[in-house]
Chains A and B, each alone.
Chain A
Amino acid sequence: ILNVEQSPQSLHVQEGDSTNFTCSFPSSNFYALHWYRWETAKSPEALFVMTLNGDEKKKGRISATLNTKEGYSYLYIKGSQPEDSATYLCALFGAGSYQLTFGKGTKLSVIP
């Protein structure tokens, strides 16, 4: 069973602050790392799919990096806005598997 850990579990930031959170996974069983954003009363939305060590992806004010050798990924949000409030999920696509194993998520609340 793959173990995907996310930290922190939740955080509150002021509008305009930049923030980041972490996803840790077993580096020995890596195939791809997915990030999703899940807003309340909506469906999870794919942000990034990352496969290569050193990958960096960017979408507007949100970016992510990947280190497969040490088994972690960081998600950064620059200049947080209230609409960024959501739960951010990371998920591992493990070698030999056709399913995603999700972490429990980081719940972000941006205070106007």
Chain B
Amino acid sequence: GAGVSQSPSNKVTEKGKDVELRCDPISGHTALYWYRQSLGQGLEFLIYFQGNSAPDKSGLPSDRFSAERTGGSVSTLTIQRTQQEDSAVYLCASSLFSDSNQPQHFGDGTRLSIL
């Protein structure tokens, strides 16, 4: 496909379970970002990958959150021991490279609900 692909589109799980969210960026895009939008809040930066460089994890809210990007392409965001406050829409975006002039291309997001 031409756009950023995220899966699953919706995820409902019980508190304490682990979840994995997947992002497939646009082919050739070297920069990949994860954001989340909690109810009533703006989009919040979580983590950023640029090529093979070490990721910028400064936005991850706790050590229960981790992400990896394999082969410079697909990324997985993992949340361990989920809590109700983790309920949010998780968005992935990619850009050609990490430059301020580059627009970011977003996926449709994963709506995560923790019961």
Contacts and interface: CB of A to CB of B under 8 A. Distances in A.
Q: Looking at chain A's contact residues, is the secondary structure mostly helix, strand, loop, or mixed?
A: strand
Interface stretch (B13-21, B67-75, B76-84, B95-103): B95-103
Nearest to B33: A99
B103 A49 contact: yes
24 contacts: A4-B42, A31-B100, A32-B101, A34-B104, A42-B108, A43-B3, A43-B91, A43-B108, A44-B91, A44-B93, A45-B106, A46-B103, A46-B104, A49-B100, A49-B101, A49-B102, A89-B43, A93-B100, A98-B56, A99-B33, A99-B48, A100-B104, A102-B43, A103-B42
Given A43-B4, A49-B102, 15 more contacts: A4-B42, A34-B103, A44-B91, A44-B106, A46-B103, A46-B104, A49-B101, A89-B42, A98-B50, A98-B56, A99-B45, A99-B56, A99-B58, A100-B33, A103-B42
Interface in A25-39: 31-32, 34, 36
Interface centre among B33, B42, B45, B58 (most CB of A within 10 A): B42
Interface of B: 3-4, 31, 33, 35, 41-45, 48, 50, 56, 58-59, 91, 93, 98, 100-109
A49 B102 CA distance: 7
A43 B5 CA distance: 10
A41 to B, nearest CB: 8
Interface of A: 4, 31-32, 34, 36, 42-46, 49, 51, 89, 91, 93, 98-105
B48 A98 contact: yes
A49 B101 CA distance: 6
